[in-house]
């Protein structure tokens, strides 16, 4: 099973090498690594190009934002399964992708998801939040649940059937896509009870209170655009669930 891993980057020379090395050191042998750059001007392109043919596909050109760039990467992917590793993130271990592949084989599902650690930007060994996803229950979406998107691996066929990321969203397109795939279209999934990714803190939707309020509205809109009706408390429980990740 070929697994395509996509990294999106724009002016992130500081950590892009960490992400690249994290992919290249994986023990799983059948990885197609794709890097999509938004026409960086800070030396990021030079770092990526220094890896030569070890990166299967590299594109550096203007895009319309993060989700447009992700869609571009998915379009280039030839693997049966597609996953993301953002330029600030690293895999938890060298065997992470091998574990994901084994989970797909064991469960024979459309998708797999796992756990995630939020870590300090300067020291990725220092944990800030621990996101334990738990076993899948479709109705949990109504109570604000979602799996961490960097741990979500899905067969490319699902993108063909049910569409790519909705670029009309600024920060919640990942939530909208997983809601659409898992809740609306009922693709099959399985929980891999392992930490898959270390994510550096500082996500776009959490930078300011204003951004958090806007993200919460986008969470609600994710249901609306799919013709779905959440409970009145769904949008409020979603941010509250994050509090347990600090314990």
Work out the number of other CB atoms within 10 angstroms of the CB of residue 133.
20
The domain of 114 spans 3-246
- Higher pLDDT residue, 244 or 104? 104
Closest CA to 181 of 144, 152, 143: 152
Instruction: Give pLDDT tens digits for 168-198.
Output: 999 999 999 999 999 999 999 999 999 999 9
Q: What is the CATH number of the domain that holds 190?
A: 3.90.550.10
> How far apart, in whole angstroms, are the C-alpha atoms of residue 159 and residue 74?
8
* Domain count across the chain: 1
Q: Which residues contact 179 (CB under 8 A, 6 or more apart)?
A: 141, 146, 222, 223, 226, 228
Instruction: Give pLDDT tens digits for 60-114.
Output: 999 999 999 999 999 999 999 999 999 999 999 999 999 999 999 999 999 999 9
Instruction: Give pLDDT tens digits for 36-60.
Output: 999 999 999 999 999 999 999 999 9
This prediction has a pTM of 0.94
């Amino acid at each position: 099973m070929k697994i395509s891993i996509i990294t999106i980057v724009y002016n992130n020379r500081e950590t892009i090498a960490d992400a690249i090395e994290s992919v290249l050191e994986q023990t799983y042998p059948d990885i197609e690594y794709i890097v999509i750059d938004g026409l960086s001007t800070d030396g990021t392109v030079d770092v990526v190009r220094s890896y030569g043919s070890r990166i299967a596909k590299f594109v550096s050109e203007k895009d319309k934002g993060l989700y447009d760039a992700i869609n571009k990467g998915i379009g280039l992917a030839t693997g049966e399964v597609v996953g993301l590793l953002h330029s600030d993130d690293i895999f938890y271990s060298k065997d992470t992708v091998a574990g994901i592949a084994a989970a797909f084989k064991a469960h024979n599902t459309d998708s797999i998801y796992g756990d995630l650690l939020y870590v300090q930007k300067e020291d990725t060994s220092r944990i800030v939040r621990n996101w334990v996803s738990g076993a899948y229950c479709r109705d949990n979406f109504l109570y604000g649940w979602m799996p961490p998107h960097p741990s979500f691996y899905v067969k490319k066929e699902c993108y063909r059937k049910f569409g790519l990321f909705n670029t009309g969203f600024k920060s919640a397109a990942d939530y909208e896509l997983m809601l659409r795939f898992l809740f609306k279209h009922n693709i099959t999934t399985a929980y891999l009870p392992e930490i898959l990714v270390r994510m550096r803190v500082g996500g776009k939707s959490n930078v300011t209170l204003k951004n958090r309020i806007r993200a919460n509205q986008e969470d609600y809109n994710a249901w609306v655009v799919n013709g779905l009706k959440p409970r009145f408390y769904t949008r409020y429980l979603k941010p509250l669930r994050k509090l347990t990740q600090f314990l």
